[in-house]
Amino acid sequence: MTTIMPQSELTRKAVAWISEMQTADEKKGLQSLIEEAAVRFNLGPKDVEFLQRFYREKKD
């Protein structure tokens, strides 16, 4: 049985998961991690755009 979560909570979980995966597997590119997180956490296009912007600003 799945639990319904607010979209912001899913985005927060995606950020945590991406950060964890970056340290675990440095060979995987950020874009592929974002795409995988989008599928894993059922994120919409706006959430994916947020993740891309978040990591782009974090990099700068």
CA distance 18 to 2: 22
Q: What is the mean pLDDT of residues 49-56?
A: 91
* pLDDT beyond 90 at 31: yes
- How many CB atoms sit inside 10 A of residue 38's CB? 16
Tell me the average pLDDT of the chain: 86
CA distance 56 to 54: 6
* pLDDT beyond 70 at 35: yes
> How big is the chain, counted in residues?
60
Q: What is the pTM of this model?
A: 0.81
Instruction: State the distance between the two ends of the chain, measured CA to CA, in whole angstroms.
Output: 41
Amino acid (1-letter code) at residue 44: G
* pLDDT beyond 70 at 19: yes
pLDDT at 57 (0 to 100): 84
* pLDDT beyond 80 at 54: yes
18, 33 Cβ separation under 8 angstroms? yes
